[in-house]
A and B are shown apart, each in its own frame.
Chain A
Amino acid sequence: MFNEEDYIRSKMGNRNPFTVPEGYFEQLTAQVMQKLPAQEMQEQQRLSAQEPKKSAVIRYLRPLLYAAACICLAMFGVTVYQNLDQQTADTLQSNIPQISMEYNDDFIDEAADYAMLDNEDIYASLLADI
């Protein structure tokens, strides 16, 4: 085998007979890097450039964000509680007594006048139903 290998080497040598255009290897790396998928490149650049900045900003702002969220929640709770309390008070104090007063006074008096009844007649009629 070695004789045959020597035969080839002596006849042709192992010199590289190929050539490339001038400056090809100088531009090859840039050419390859340019053809890499754009999205992945951008993702790599975003990760390397923005990640430390973003995490640092969030780290400093996090306590403030928590405090702001707590204040907002407390203010919302107080407002809702006050509104509910006010509505309940208004309903109890103004609406119900007015209706009942109007109903009791006007309607009963009018009906009693119309029927020519006094209190004793009314009690008697109520007891008769029992």
Chain B
Amino acid sequence: MKACYDDEQLKALIKDPKTRTRGFEMMVGQYSEKLYWQVRRIVLTHEDSNDVLQNALLKAWTSIDSFHGDSKIITWLTRIAINEALDFIRRQKSRPAVSADDIDTGIANQLMADDYFDGSQAEAQLQEAIASLPDVQRTVFLLRYYDDMKYSDISKTLGTSEGALKASYHIAVKKITEFFKRFD
């Protein structure tokens, strides 16, 4: 079972240059799994999620001096990880498709062929519907639907007002519902 460290204890450790490495290691141990799943739901494949998470944590390490401890550690880390994941999929979209299969095969079919996806066809289609959403709608939907995160926490993480987030979630739910009703 993983040790659970107090946020203030971790902040004190990473603030002091002498204990920073140890504090960062404890922080990674505590939050990396949660961050991985947040990244994975955006990026979808394990290999890419692993790369994105490693880069995000590297960025957290190099920008650790800019973290003043005003927010929760997990809020700060989630913001870095989600931005890194969204940057990754933007870069992927701007890249030309490698083969004709990439154009023809939908995300749902790619997931069904993935060794590290054990969901049903409907769950794969849900991932495809979520992937078709714009960045903010997609992120709010994922954080609300899977992590059951409060709007106030999402607002701190993304730096967007709660009102705008509620509107984005509402639109996201509507679009996903329409996506499925087309198949019914």
A32 touches B (CB below 8 Å): yes
Given A8-B176, A16-B37, A32-B28, is A45 in contact with B21 using a C-beta cutoff of 8 Å?
A: yes
Of the four ranges (under 10, 10 to 19, 20 to 34, 35 or more), the interface on chain A belongs to: 20 to 34
User: 6 new A-B pairs (CB below 8 Å) besides A8-B180, A12-B126?
Assistant: A4-B173, A7-B180, A17-B111, A17-B118, A18-B116, A18-B117
Q: Is the interface of A mostly helix, strand, loop or mixed?
A: helix
Instruction: Give B100-131 interface residues, CB cut-off 8 Å to A.
Output: 111, 116-120, 122-127
Number of A-B contacts (CB under 8 A): 98
A14 touches B (CB below 8 Å): yes
Given A29-B32, A48-B19, is A18 in contact with B173 using a C-beta cutoff of 8 Å?
A: no
B145 touches A (CB below 8 Å): yes
Tally of chain B residues near chain A (CB < 8 A): 44
A29–B21 touching, CB < 8 Å: no
Residues of B within 8 A of A (CB): 17-21, 24-25, 28-29, 32-33, 36-37, 40-41, 44, 46, 50, 53-54, 57-58, 61-62, 111, 116-120, 122-127, 145-146, 170, 173-174, 176-177, 180
Given A7-B177, A32-B28, A51-B18, is A19 in contact with B118 using a C-beta cutoff of 8 Å?
A: yes
